[in-house]
Amino acid sequence: MQIVDNSVASFHYTLTDDSGQVLDSSEGREPLTYLHGTGQIVPGLEKAMAGRVAGDQFKVDVAPAEGYGVHHAELVQAVPREAFQGVDDIQPGMQFQAHGPQGPVHVTVTKVDGETVHIDGNHPLAGQTLHFDIQVTEVREASADELAHGHVHGPGGHEH
């Protein structure tokens, strides 16, 4: 069976950056399982998965616009330390949820400079080309429940 919209696909992956550094991998874990055509993985990878079958192995480079987005400079800000009430030790790499004009925004602390905290609201991989090494392990039809709920059930998926 080929990967098509509303099918369930499982795959192993290794994600690297431009320098070849491994950013994430399913090695030593269960394969990633998702409902195809529902936006559960980055768009560029989902497009590359279409039409594949169990056993396929391939590499795909996903541009920022089809991955975690381009880097938006306006999402990088310096805010006063007092904005982090109740947090005594603010360190680079810490992540917080802030409230923006369009709702919640996840931000990462990039630098702490005295009473100023520098934050970035971009996804940590925004602006980067994503290099995937993929091995498709299984493709099957989605169940009626999975389609109704919009996600995979059972192994590799959601348990109710």
100 has pLDDT over 90 = no
The model's pLDDT over 7-43, given as tens digits with 9 standing for 90+, comes to 999 999 999 999 999 999 999 999 999 999 999 999 9
Token representation of residue 43 = 């768009």
Contact between residue 61 and residue 48 where contact means Cβ atoms under 8 Å apart: no
Question: For 110-121, what is the mean pLDDT?
Answer: 95
> Burial level of 113, CB count in 10 A (0-12/13-18/19+)?
exposed
pLDDT, residue 98, reads: 82
Point out the least confidently predicted range of 50-54, 63-67, 104-108: 104-108
Tokens of 123: 């996804």
